[in-house]
Amino acid sequence: MKILVTGGAGFIGSNFIRYALRNHPDWHVTNLDKLTYAGNLENLWDIEGSPRYSFIKGDIADRELVDALFRENHFDSVVNFAAESHVDRSILDPAPFIDANINRRGLWVALVGGPAVYGGEPAAAEHSPYAASKAAAATPSPA
């Protein structure tokens, strides 16, 4: 099984990749990550030499790159962790959150969301630009 993980150098993505490789010996994981301030390949130091793991530095919004990756790899599944995810930064500068979390979602079939999207407080989207961007990304667009 071939899996594309986006944002796999971040907190959750790197743990997902480690879990996937340990528990699914027939999986190959390609990690596409832009390596923003939040991405750190040291999160994956223990698996970087695995023959079942590949890293590509790139942006999920780079359609040419993404198309080429799909042509070459025929992925069975995509798990998207790539996002702007730091609430404090969203309050200081919301623009990258709109760009990364909403404008680029068209490329992807899976979305990782938390309380800002699914749970807890009904007015979560009002609490920060981060929460608003995640809620917007999870809301279907009108046809």
Ligand X SMILES: NC(=O)c1ccc[n+]([C@@H]2O[C@H](COP(=O)([O-])OP(=O)(O)OC[C@H]3O[C@@H](n4cnc5c(N)ncnc54)[C@H](O)[C@@H]3O)[C@@H](O)[C@H]2O)c1
By beta-carbon proximity to ligand X, the closer residue of 118 and 143 is 118
By beta-carbon proximity to ligand X, the closer residue of 140 and 143 is 140
Stretch that binds ligand X, among 45-53, 55-63, 67-75, 118-126 (CB under 6 A): 55-63
Half-sphere CA count of 68, side-chain side, radius 13 A: 10
Q: In what order do the strands lie in the sheet with 2-6?
A: 53-57, 28-33, 2-6, 77-80
By beta-carbon proximity to ligand X, the closer residue of 9 and 102 is 9
Task: Please pick, from the candidates 41, 59, 94, 107, the single residue that binds ligand X as defined by CB under 6 A.
Answer: 59
Token code pair at residue 107 = 């490329």
b/e per residue 110-124 (b: at least 16 CB within 10 A): eebeeebbeeeeeeb
Is there binding between residue 102 and ligand X (CB under 6 A)? no
Token code pair at residue 113 = 């969301």
C-alpha pair distances (Å), 123 with each of 18, 95, 112: 34, 21, 19
Interatomic CA distance for residues 33 and 30, integer angstroms: 10
By beta-carbon proximity to ligand X, the closer residue of 25 and 78 is 78
Is there binding between residue 124 and ligand X (CB under 6 A)? no
Is there binding between residue 128 and ligand X (CB under 6 A)? no
Query: Shortest approach of ligand X to residue 111 CB, angstroms?
Result: 7
List the x/- string, 6-25, binding to ligand X by CB under 6 A.
Answer: xx-xxxxx------------
Query: Shortest approach of ligand X to residue 54 CB, angstroms?
Result: 15
